[in-house]
Every structure is written in structure tokens, then in C-alpha cells.
Amino acid sequence: MSRVWQTILSVWAWLVLALCILIWFPVMLVLRLVTAPFDPGRYLVGYVFRRIGVVHAALNPMWRFRCSGVMPADPRHPYVVVSNHESFVDILLISHLPWEMKWLTKAEMFRIPFLGWMQRLAGDIPVQRGFGPSAIEAIARCREMLERRVSVMIFPEGTRSAGRDLLPFKDGAFRLAVDAGVPILPLAVHGTGTALRKHDWRFGRCAAVVQVLEPVDTAGLTAADVPAIKEQVRARIAEARAALALKPALRSG
């Protein structure tokens, strides 16, 4: 693809995303007001919010997204969902999964007009990096959502990985799952690295997939088991991601 066409298509894709945000915001606002008395976990308004990713990807001719694996039978069975992190576009890809999750997101995102307001309406959870009290409050809110039968989504690497190898996983997501007594649901993401590179506003071609892996039960585990379960999940995600990279349909994207 020539740089001119890449620029034209990128302008189109950003305009589509901006238009979706402007259309979705009043819808979410009304939906939140209507559902507040009977939906304290903000499941419905959050689910509607994630549909932005589906619509945007469908209207972006440079992207091909798909989901694979066995989807949870009960969307209200709470999990701590963890995934590797290749790109900002991971969020739009994972939003194609057919259930709602509350995302643990850096606090700076919540300061963006409209988008940040929508994240608050959806019940996403801000965390300020390097500030201990913020992390404690965020984990408490994650537990609250799990108690309300809504899954939470965390990138345990903490940031996007610039290379092929996964970064070390942090303990937080796994400690949360053990303390709350809920299973961990690993996801393997592959192919989004070319969709939007760091320090470049233009989108690129990609054929990306998110694969849902088998849940990991935490029943009977304690804090002492966190390091082992963390490394087990990291190894499973790394193995699944490497297998996805070998598939011709993804390599040709």
C-alpha cells in the first residue's frame, strides 16, 4: 500500500471512530439513566460501548479481525480476563468478544473528552501508574464488579510489548483472581502490531485474531500460589500466540 493511500484510509478510519463516539455518547448516557436502577454492574451500557470497536473495524478496509476458541457459556459468570498486549488496537479487537468486561485502564485515558466520559459511563476502572493508593482503589473496584457478576479485563504486562516476546507479567490480576475466588480466562492476541504502530497516527494493514483459551481455576489457591499461576498463564498465552503466528492466513495479512 502506498503512503498516500495509507494516509487517506487512515483519515477515513479516524473520522469513522470520531463519528461513532459522537453517536454513541448520547445513547450511552440515556441507557445508563434508564438501566441504573436494575443494572448496578453497568453490564448493558458497557456492552453497547464495546460495539464501537466492532463497527469501526467493519468500516476500516485495512483490518481483518476474528475471534476463536471456546466462548464462555454464561456471559455473567465472572472471570479475571488477561491478555498479551501488542497494540492500542488490542482493545478494539478484544471488544469483538460476545460478553462485557470492565477494563482496567490508565487514568490518562479518562481525561480525554467524550471517550473518557464514555469509559466512566461504561464502568471502566482507572488506575494511575506508580501511585499505590490508586492501584489499591482500582483493585477494590475490580472486586466490586466481580461480585456483581461482571468480568474484568487486565493486561498483565502493564504496557504494550514492542518485541515478539511477552514482557514479564505483573502479579495484580492473578492476586485479584485468587483473592476473589474467580477463574482466570487467558486470551492470546496476534496480529495487531501492524494495525497502529507506536508514534504513528496512521493505521496499517493487519489480519488479527483473539483466541479464548481454557479458563484456569483458582479454587483453593492462596497468595503463595500467585507466582506459579502467573507463569503458567503466561506460558499458555505465549504458546498460543506462537501457534497463531504460524497460520498462513494471519501471516499473509
The model's pLDDT over 195-208, given as tens digits with 9 standing for 90+, comes to 998 788 999 999 99
Show the beta-strand stretches assigned E in the chain: 63-69, 80-83, 101-106, 125-127, 151-154, 184-190, 206-212
* CB of 121 closer than 8 Å to CB of 42: yes
Which CATH number is 80's domain given?
A: 3.40.1130
Q: Lowest-pLDDT range, 20-34, 53-67, 125-139, 231-245? A: 125-139
- Mind listing the pLDDT tens digit for each residue in 97-143? 999 999 999 999 999 999 999 999 999 999 887 666 778 899 999 99
Cα 52 off chain centre by? 13
Q: Looking at residue 198, what is its pLDDT? A: 77
Q: What is the pLDDT of residues 142-174, one digit of tens each?
A: 999 999 999 999 999 987 776 678 999 999 999
Q: Is residue 173 a contact partner of residue 82, using CB atoms and an 8 Å limit?
A: yes
Question: How far is 92 from 21, CA to CA, in rounded Å?
Answer: 13
The count of domains in the chain is 1
Given a contact cutoff of 8 angstroms between Cβ atoms, the answer to whether 213 and 240 are in contact is yes
Residue 220 is placed in which grid cell? 483453593
pTM over the 0.75 mark: yes
State the pLDDT at residue 150: 98
**How far is the C-alpha of 103 from the C-alpha of 69, rounded, in Å?**
21
Confidence class of residue 251 from pLDDT cuts 50, 70 and 90? very low
Indicate whether 249 pLDDT > 60: no
Stretch 216-241: mean pLDDT: 96
Structural domain that includes position 203:
3-251
Distance (Å, whole) CA 253 – CA 244? 12
Evaluated on CA atoms 68, 24, 158, 137, the torsion sign reads negative
